[in-house]
C-alpha cells in the first residue's frame, strides 16, 4: 500500500441512498442525483463519475508530464473513457478503457507521453494491478 508523503487536497462528499440517492461535496460545487445503470431514473451513476474523474485526472497527468518534458500538447487533446461494470465470480468489478486523442502529435512521442502519464496519474496508481485498464492512442 502506498502512503501519502503529504496530503495536498482532500475531497469530501456526503452521499445518501446509494445508487438511487444523491451526493454532494462539502463545498457545494458538486451536487448530483444518482441512479442505477440501465434504469430510466434521472441521475448519474458511480461508473460515469469514475469515467469522468479518471479521464480528467489522466489529462492532468499528461499536462504535468508534458510540462516537465517541455512538450507542447495539442489544444484539442481529449480522452473518451469507458468504465464497465460486471461480475467477477461472486462479486462485482469494473474495467476501464480510455481512448486518448493527441491530434497532430508524433505517434511515438504521444505514446511515450501516455505511458509516462500512466505512471504518475493518481487514478492509474490506485487501479494498477486491481482492475483491467486499457489505454489506446487514437
pLDDT tens profile 77-87: 999 999 999 99
* pTM for this predicted structure: 0.93
pLDDT over 90 (residue 123): yes
Contacts of 38 (CB under 8 A, 6+ apart): none
* Structural domain containing residue 127: 46-137
> pLDDT tens for residues 8-36?
999 999 999 999 999 999 999 999 999 99
Specify whether 35 is located in the same domain as 62: no
User: Does residue 38 carry a pLDDT above 90?
Assistant: no
Do both 53 and 110 map to the same domain? yes
Same domain, 112 and 127: yes
**C-alpha grid cell, residue 59:** 489529462
User: Is 13 found in the same domain as 27?
Assistant: yes
Amino acid at each position: 500500500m502506498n502512503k501519502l508523503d503529504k496530503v495536498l487536497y482532500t475531497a469530501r462528499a456526503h452521499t445518501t441512498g446509494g445508487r438511487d440517492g444523491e451526493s454532494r461535496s462539502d463545498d457545494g460545487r458538486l451536487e448530483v442525483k444518482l441512479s442505477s445503470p440501465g434504469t430510466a431514473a434521472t441521475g448519474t451513476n458511480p461508473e460515469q463519475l469514475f469515467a469522468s474523474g479518471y479521464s480528467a485526472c489522466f489529462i492532468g497527468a499528461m499536462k504535468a508530464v508534458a510540462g516537465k518534458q517541455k512538450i507542447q500538447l495539442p489544444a484539442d487533446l481529449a480522452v473518451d473513457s469507458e468504465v464497465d461494470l460486471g461480475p467477477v465470480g461472486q462479486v462485482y468489478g469494473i474495467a476501464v478503457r480510455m481512448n486518448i486523442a493527441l491530434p497532430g502529435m508524433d505517434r511515438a512521442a504521444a505514446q511515450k507521453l501516455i505511458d509516462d502519464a500512466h505512471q504518475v496519474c493518481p487514478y492509474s496508481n490506485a487501479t494498477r494491478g486491481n482492475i483491467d485498464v486499457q489505454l489506446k492512442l487514437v
